[in-house]
């Protein structure tokens, strides 16, 4: 298969001059505006563009963009699975999107029912006891979790001494960032030889100052932390809380759960595990689940049910307050609800099994040429190192994208040199896995100076990142 | 074992006869015994269920006078069409710039739109929503000057305040409120002046303010702020006709961008807009798109200044934000492209005129106490009543109208305006709807 991405030398929207064609109803004039002149805007330098030009411009731009609907998108840690079209259709129902957040509960029983059912689904899948849907992304879920940790120790009168949050060195950057934003000192511990948490390092780090330990399981190497029971015991014996980063839930969903493993707080990435589209960067949704003893700390409102009526529940006694403007990213929640309803208990579990199968299939193919460190059995993703081939992960990534497949996540986790983190997900055929593996293996044999020339089949060659950071041109200006 | 032939081949390749062998590393005591969720259904069935649940909402057919942050505005069909394109909808963050120039250029244009609209030097490529953006703006101000006090207006909505408080936990920062005049509805400049000190990190102003009023005094805050930073929380549509915050001395601007081509969505997803002076760009949170060239000198776009971000700087990052609201940012760029500057101005002016009409009609009701706030509303109209309004929203909802949110439900309601409620107009508000509201309100006591 030969591949070329559409290429347009597309000018900035700010250079278009075709004249606005959009009709805004009404017949106001400047003289209707009886405000002091100093309040009035004198000029607004936006372009006057016809609607047809705006649509053509952004349609052309869209064609210079790889997406899940074009093929495999195996970004590790991102769970780029197929986004089902029935969910688009449901999110396109006016009765759902044409609803104002300040409406009375009695007029939005449909919204509340969706949210209530989603809370119940997430509780069941994670074996947690209460869920808030308010956080707007995974990182905000983490932050919400850290606020809950703070409040928990504040109520216990221990906040002054519980100042530390421990994270493994394989953790995603948002984990330490969220903990620090909530005012904790971050303590990083090294991983053991096999890539899992080093129990000795954990024991050494844990103390009466520990507020929480944040981990994900399977971890960012795609391997299951089989000492999780011991980890939970150590954390709880120290009086601290165990936090689950749910970004990797797709590797275990339906097989085990954070609740069964002893976690106290968990966030879900609905835009990963539950197939809501990632929108070129967002929006996502990051609901948080907690065990019963932490339910009184959840942000408000959560969605309650009384008989057959749904209501906004403000009862959590020690609520952390609010973490976002309204009730959460409803349209994203709605899509996740649809995904869970469609797949059901049988399908969700099947998806996990298939995702893990695909990962191990790729692993077995790729290990012929690449070093795949740590434990051999993988879950949702695998991390290989390109070091043994003498090639840079970056160069191999560019070779892949030049062949019409998206590259894996590169240089993460930080503990693997020249890391490439590959997450195929369940929604990719063996045919596509084979093609991906073939290009990947081929790249190992391409001479380095050849590799450096890629990409050539895309609208641009390799960009100058240093220049971007030095010039800091972050908006369009007219040519002088 | 599955019936899928490809999967059987994979199992064979992996040398496993039981697919559960792939989970042998998960100790038995952690295995989930059952999943108490119904089995899967067909697409037809899930659509039917969704339709049935949607019909439980009674909003279809109700007239809308709700606002206070989220607004029912016209969404051009072109916006839904573009953000529904799967090339934008189903892509991830543009980690591979060469195969993602489309979204990178779109977000670069978004940054230009937002810089122009707010009159600021630079914009990031989106935040979560309005309130969280204001929370991040306050953190950013504290990061810039490391001072203690943040001054906020006393009429700021409770929920906004709660989100700011969440974003401040762990920082040694103090929120101080300044007064808002109960006759004009303008912020009290003398009170601000008396509270500004060498410890003041930032002064937060809202425009229009939380009483919905276009506040003339906001323009004068820069004269009394000393070297504290000025953070403006603005209504982006109002900037079609009102002076942009860059022109009255703002250092950081935060806004909810839902009004720019995004449906109400029950409050989410919306769009957090964050713009600022260029000097502060390295202290700012979130992703920023920059222009550069490729290896052949061709124009190219990339994510830049990533060394501020969590994946590189980890606990020292300017924010934990990773996933943002890119698609909604594209929506607002398409929106501004389609309506253009004259369209946006007309939308703002129509909103202003409609809210004025609404205010005139409602304030002449018997139940409306005189005098009303003298400041002029932009979109949200606060009406004072002689009687208790705590059940007004319920009263109206029974008659098919969404509106009349009591001030007390949203913010502290000082004595002079205790019995007040909000009614919101936009460019979509029809004369006959206003008349219908007024005639229903005739019998409200
Ligand atoms: C392991 C891990 N944790 C947390 C996050 C943060 O999630 P989000 O991007 O939704 O904020 C991500 C996603 O990038 C992740 O991969």
Are residues B20 and B126 part of one domain?
A: no
At B84-120, the pLDDT tens digits run: 999 999 999 999 999 999 999 999 999 999 999 999 9
Q: What are phi and psi of A166, to 5 degrees?
A: -95, 135
At A137-157, the pLDDT tens digits run: 999 999 999 999 999 999 999
Inter-residue contact A297 to A152 (CB < 8 Å): yes
At A237-276, the pLDDT tens digits run: 999 999 999 999 999 999 999 999 999 999 999 999 999 9
Query: Under DSSP, is residue B8 helix (H, G, I), strand (E, B) or coil?
Result: helix
CATH code of A87-342, in short, is 3.40.640.10
Are residues B132 and B38 part of one domain?
A: no
Q: How far is CA A339 from CA A203, A272, B87, B89, in A?
A: 40, 12, 21, 17
- The Cα A277–Cα A84 span in angstroms is 9
Q: For strands B272-276 and B420-424, give the pairing.
A: unpaired
- The first and second tokens of residue B275, run together, are 């713009």
Inter-residue contact B184 to B374 (CB < 8 Å): yes
Domain count of chain B? Answer: 3
- The Cα A328–Cα A333 span in angstroms is 8
Q: What is the pTM assigned to this prediction?
A: 0.98
Angle at B81 (CA atoms; ends A278, A115), nearest 5 degrees = 50
Cβ distance B294 to A186 less than 8 Å, yes or no, reads: no
pLDDT at B61: 81
From the candidates B69, B94, B138, B267, which should be mutated to test the interface with A, based on the most A CB atoms within 10 A? B267
Residue B356 has pLDDT above 60, yes or no: yes
Are residues B287 and B378 part of one domain?
A: no
Closest ligand 1 atom to A141 CA: 11
Are residues B378 and B251 part of one domain?
A: no
The residue-averaged pLDDT of B49-67 equals 93
- The Cα B303–Cα B291 span in angstroms is 9
Please report whether residue B251 resides in a domain.
yes
Query: Under DSSP, is residue A244 helix (H, G, I), strand (E, B) or coil?
Result: strand
- The Cα A169–Cα A370 span in angstroms is 23
Are residues B125 and B177 part of one domain?
A: yes
At A181-236, the pLDDT tens digits run: 999 999 999 999 889 999 999 999 999 999 999 999 999 999 999 999 999 999 99
Cβ distance A281 to B47 less than 8 Å, yes or no, reads: no
Closest ligand 1 atom to A216 CA: 1
Question: Which helix (DSSP H) or strand (DSSP E) does residue A293 occupy?
Answer: none
Q: Is the peptide bond before B265 cis (omega within 30 degrees of 0)?
A: no
A39 → closest Cβ in B47, B54, B243? B243
Q: SS3 string of A180-210?
A: HHCCCEEEEECECCCCCECHHHHHHHCCCCE
Are residues B141 and B9 part of one domain?
A: no
Assess B242–A contact: CB distance below 8 Å, yes or no: yes
Count of residues making up chain B: 445
Q: Is there an atom of ligand 1 within 6 Å of A245 CB? A: yes
pLDDT at A267: 98
Q: For strands B200-207 and B252-256, give the pairing.
A: unpaired
Closest ligand 1 atom to A142 CA: 4
Which chain B residues are within 8 Å of A360, Cβ to Cβ?
A: 14, 22
CATH code of A345-470, in short, is 3.90.1150.10
Place of tokens 């006759």: B183
Closest ligand 1 atom to A269 CA: 10
Burial (Cβ within 10 Å: 0-12, 13-18, ≥19) of residue B215:
buried
pLDDT at A1: 58
Q: How many CB atoms lie within 10 A of CB B198?
A: 10
Percent of chain A with pLDDT over 70: 100
- The first and second tokens of residue A396, run together, are 């191999």
Query: Under DSSP, is residue B293 helix (H, G, I), strand (E, B) or coil?
Result: strand
Which chain A residues are within 8 Å of B343, Cβ to Cβ?
A: 20, 22, 24
pLDDT at B124: 98
Assess B72–A contact: CB distance below 8 Å, yes or no: yes
Residue B1 has pLDDT above 60, yes or no: no
Report which of B402, B418, B129, B313 is spatially closest to residue A176, judged by C-alpha positions.
B313
**Following DSSP, what letter does each residue of A253-266 receive, concatenated?**
BTTB-HHHHT-SEE
Q: How far is CA A93 from CA A277, B43, B85, in A?
A: 17, 15, 17
Assess B226–A contact: CB distance below 8 Å, yes or no: no
Are residues B328 and B286 part of one domain?
A: yes
Residue nearest to atom 5 of ligand 1 (CA): A138
Are residues B253 and B146 part of one domain?
A: yes
From the candidates B320, B344, B352, which should be mutated to test the interface with A, based on the most A CB atoms within 10 A? B320
A24 → closest Cβ in B171, B294, B347? B347
Cβ distance B344 to A44 less than 8 Å, yes or no, reads: yes
Q: Is there an atom of ligand 1 within 6 Å of A219 CB? A: no
Q: For strands B229-234 and B252-256, give the pairing.
A: parallel
At B276-313, the pLDDT tens digits run: 999 999 999 999 999 999 999 999 999 999 989 888 88
pLDDT at A31: 95
Are residues B203 and B148 part of one domain?
A: yes
pLDDT at B296: 97
CB pairs A-B closer than 8 Å = 638
Q: Is there an atom of ligand 1 within 6 Å of A139 CB? A: yes
Are residues B368 and B234 part of one domain?
A: no
Please report whether residue B56 resides in a domain.
no
Q: How far is CA A225 from CA A219, A291, B135, B275, in A?
A: 7, 21, 36, 42
Inter-residue contact B152 to B178 (CB < 8 Å): yes
Q: What is the domain range of residue B36? A: 4-51
Please report whether residue B268 resides in a domain.
yes
Which chain B residues are within 8 Å of A99, Cβ to Cβ?
A: 57, 59, 264-266
- The Cα B243–Cα B219 span in angstroms is 9
At A33-51, the pLDDT tens digits run: 999 999 999 999 999 999 9
B19 → closest Cβ in A101, A353, A464? A353
- The first and second tokens of residue A306, run together, are 């009384």
- The Cα A142–Cα B238 span in angstroms is 35
Structural domain boundaries of chain A?
Answer: 13-63, 87-342, 345-470
The residue-averaged pLDDT of B48-73 equals 94
Question: Which of the four pLDDT bands, split at 50, 70 and 90, describes residue B12?
Answer: very high
- The Cα A169–Cα B182 span in angstroms is 55
Angle at A183 (CA atoms; ends A180, A186), nearest 5 degrees = 40
Report which of B248, B184, B246 is spatially closest to residue B212, judged by C-alpha positions.
B184
Instruction: Calculate how close chain A gets to B108, using CA atoms only, in Å.
Output: 6
- Whether A87-342 shares its CATH topology with A345-470 is answered no
Are residues B295 and B149 part of one domain?
A: yes
The residue-averaged pLDDT of B158-185 equals 96
Are residues B371 and B326 part of one domain?
A: no
Q: Is there an atom of ligand 1 within 6 Å of A174 CB? A: yes
On average, the pLDDT of chain B sits at 96
The residue-averaged pLDDT of B353-375 equals 94
**Following DSSP, what letter does each residue of A11-26 receive, concatenated?**
PPGGG--S---PPPP-
Instruction: Calculate how close chain B gets to A427, using CA atoms only, in Å.
Output: 12
Assess B102–A contact: CB distance below 8 Å, yes or no: yes
Longest dimension (CA), chain A: 76
- The first and second tokens of residue B262, run together, are 């995004």
> Going by C-beta distance under 8 Å and a sequence separation of 6 or more, which residues neighbour residue A108?
A99, B57, B59, B266
CATH number of the domain bearing residue B374: 3.90.1150.10
Assess B363–A contact: CB distance below 8 Å, yes or no: no
Percent of chain B with pLDDT over 90: 93
- How far does residue A138's CA lie from ligand 1's centre (Å)? 5
Query: Under DSSP, is residue A100 helix (H, G, I), strand (E, B) or coil?
Result: coil
Question: Which of the four pLDDT bands, split at 50, 70 and 90, describes residue B2?
Answer: low
CATH number of the domain bearing residue B98: 3.40.640.10
Cβ distance A107 to B322 less than 8 Å, yes or no, reads: no
- The first and second tokens of residue A143, run together, are 């932050």
- The Cα A116–Cα A302 span in angstroms is 8
Question: Which helix (DSSP H) or strand (DSSP E) does residue B228 occupy?
Answer: none
- The CB-side HSE value for B254 (13 A sphere, CA atoms) comes to 28
Boundary (domain end) residue, out of B305, B320, B336 = B336
- The first and second tokens of residue A275, run together, are 């197939």
Assess B355–A contact: CB distance below 8 Å, yes or no: no
Print burial letters for A303-340: b (CB count within 10 Å at least 16), e (below 16): bbeeeeebbeeeebeebbbbbbbbbbbbbbbbbbbbbb
Query: Under DSSP, is residue B126 helix (H, G, I), strand (E, B) or coil?
Result: coil
At A370-422, the pLDDT tens digits run: 999 998 999 999 999 999 999 999 999 999 999 999 999 999 998 999 999 99
- The Cα A177–Cα A136 span in angstroms is 16
In chain A, which residue's Cα lies nearest the Cα of B271? Answer: A283
Alpha-helical runs (H) found in B211-308: 221-224
Please report whether residue B304 resides in a domain.
yes
């Amino acid at each position: 298969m030969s591949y070329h991405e559409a290429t347009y030398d597309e000018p900035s929207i700010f250079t278009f001059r075709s004249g606005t064609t959009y009709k805004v109803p009404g017949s106001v004039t400047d003289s209707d505006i009886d405000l002091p002149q100093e309040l009035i805007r004198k000029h607004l330098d936006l372009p006057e563009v016809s609607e047809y030009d705006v649509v053509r411009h952004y349609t052309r731009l869209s064609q210079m963009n790889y997406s899940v609907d074009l093929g495999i998108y195996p970004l590790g840690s991102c769970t780029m699975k197929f986004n089902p079209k029935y969910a688009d259709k449901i999110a396109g129902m006016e009765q759902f999107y044409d609803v104002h957040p300040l409406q009375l509960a009695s007029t939005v029983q449909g919204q509340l029912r969706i949210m209530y059912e989603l809370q119940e689904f997430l509780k069941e899948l994670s074996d947690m006891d209460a869920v808030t849907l308010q956080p707007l992304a995974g990182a905000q879920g983490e932050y919400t979790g850290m606020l809950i940790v703070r409040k928990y120790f504040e109520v216990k009168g221990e906040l002054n001494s519980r100042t530390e949050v421990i994270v493994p060195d394989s953790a995603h950057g948002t984990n330490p960032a969220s903990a620090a934003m909530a005012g904790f000192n971050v303590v990083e511990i090294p991983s053991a030889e096999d890539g899992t948490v080093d129990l000795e390092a954990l024991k050494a780090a844990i103390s009466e100052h520990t507020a929480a330990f944040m981990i994900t399981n399977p971890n960012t190497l795609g391997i299951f932390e089989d000492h999780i029971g011991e980890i939970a015991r150590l954390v709880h014996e120290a009086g601290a809380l165990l936090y689950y980063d749910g970004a990797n839930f797709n590797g275990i969903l339906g097989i085990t759960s954070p609740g069964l493993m002893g976690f106290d707080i968990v966030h879900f990435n609905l835009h990963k595990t539950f197939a809501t589209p990632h929108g070129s960067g967002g929006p996502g949704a990051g609901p948080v689940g907690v065990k019963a003893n932490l339910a009184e700390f959840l942000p408000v409102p959560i969605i309650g049910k009384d008989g057959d009526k749904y209501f906004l529940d403000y009862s959590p006694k020690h609520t952390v307050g609010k973490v976002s403007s309204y009730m959460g990213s409803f349209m994203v929640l709605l899509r996740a609800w649809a995904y869970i309803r469609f797949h059901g208990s049988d399908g969700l579990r099947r998806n996990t099994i298939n995702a893990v199968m695909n990962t191990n299939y790729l692993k077995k193919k790729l290990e012929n040429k690449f070093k795949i460190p740590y434990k051999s059995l993988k879950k949702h993703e695998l991390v290989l190192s390109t070091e043994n081939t003498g090639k840079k992960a970056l160069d191999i990534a560019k070779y892949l994208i030049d062949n019409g497949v998206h590259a894996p996540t590169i240089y993460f986790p930080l503990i693997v040199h020249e890391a490439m983190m590959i997450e195929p997900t369940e929604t990719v055929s063996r045919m596509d896995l084979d093609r991906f593996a073939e290009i990947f293996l081929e790249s190992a044999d391409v001479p380095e100076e050849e590799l450096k020339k890629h990409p050539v089949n895309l609208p641009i060659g390799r960009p100058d990142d240093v220049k971007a950071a030095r010039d800091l041109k972050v908006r369009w200006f007219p040519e002088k | 074992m599955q019936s899928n032939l490809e999967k059987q081949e994979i199992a064979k390749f992996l040398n496993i006869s039981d697919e559960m062998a792939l989970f042998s590393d998960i100790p038995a005591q952690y295995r989930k015994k059952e999943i108490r969720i119904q089995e899967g259904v067909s697409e037809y069935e899930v659509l039917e269920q969704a339709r049935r649940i949607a019909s439980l909402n009674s909003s279809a057919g109700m007239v809308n006078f709700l606002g206070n942050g989220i607004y029912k505005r016209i969404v051009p069909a072109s916006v839904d069409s573009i953000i529904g394109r799967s090339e934008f909808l189903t892509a991830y963050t543009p980690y591979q710039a060469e195969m993602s120039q489309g979204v990178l250029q779109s977000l670069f244009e978004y940054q230009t739109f937002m810089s122009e609209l707010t009159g600021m030097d630079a914009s990031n490529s989106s935040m979560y929503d309005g309130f969280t953006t204001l929370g991040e703006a306050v953190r950013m101000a504290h990061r810039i000057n490391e001072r203690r006090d943040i001054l906020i207006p006393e009429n700021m909505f409770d929920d906004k305040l709660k989100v700011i408080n969440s974003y401040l936990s762990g920082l040694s920062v103090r929120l101080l409120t300044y007064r808002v005049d109960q006759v004009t509805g303008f912020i009290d400049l003398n009170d601000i002046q008396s509270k500004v000190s060498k410890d003041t990190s930032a002064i937060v102003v809202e425009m229009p303010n939380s009483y919905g009023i276009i506040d003339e005094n906001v323009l004068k805050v820069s004269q009394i702020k000393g070297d504290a930073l000025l953070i403006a929380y603005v209504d982006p549509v109002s900037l079609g006709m009102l002076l942009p915050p860059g022109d009255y001395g703002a250092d950081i601007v935060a806004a909810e961008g839902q009004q720019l081509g995004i449906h109400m969505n029950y409050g989410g997803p919306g769009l957090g807009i964050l713009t600022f002076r260029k000097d502060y760009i390295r202290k700012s949170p979130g992703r920023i798109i920059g222009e550069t060239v490729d290896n052949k000198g061709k124009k190219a776009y990339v994510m830049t200044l990533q060394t501020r971000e969590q994946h590189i700087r980890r606990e020292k990052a300017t924010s934990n934000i990773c996933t943002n609201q890119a698609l909604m940012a594209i929506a607002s760029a398409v929106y501004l492209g389609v309506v253009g500057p004259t369209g946006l101005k007309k939308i703002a002016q129509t909103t202003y005129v409609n809210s004025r009409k609404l205010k005139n009609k409602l304030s002449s009701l018997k139940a409306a106490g005189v005098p009303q706030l003298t400041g002029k509303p932009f979109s949200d109209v606060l009406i004072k009543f002689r009687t208790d309004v705590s059940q007004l929203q319920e009263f109206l909802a029974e008659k098919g109208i969404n509106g009349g949110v009591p001030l007390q439900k949203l913010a502290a309601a000082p004595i002079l305006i205790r019995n007040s409620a909000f009614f919101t107009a936009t460019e979509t508000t029809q004369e006959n709807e206003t008349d219908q509201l007024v005639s229903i309100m005739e019998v409200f006591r």
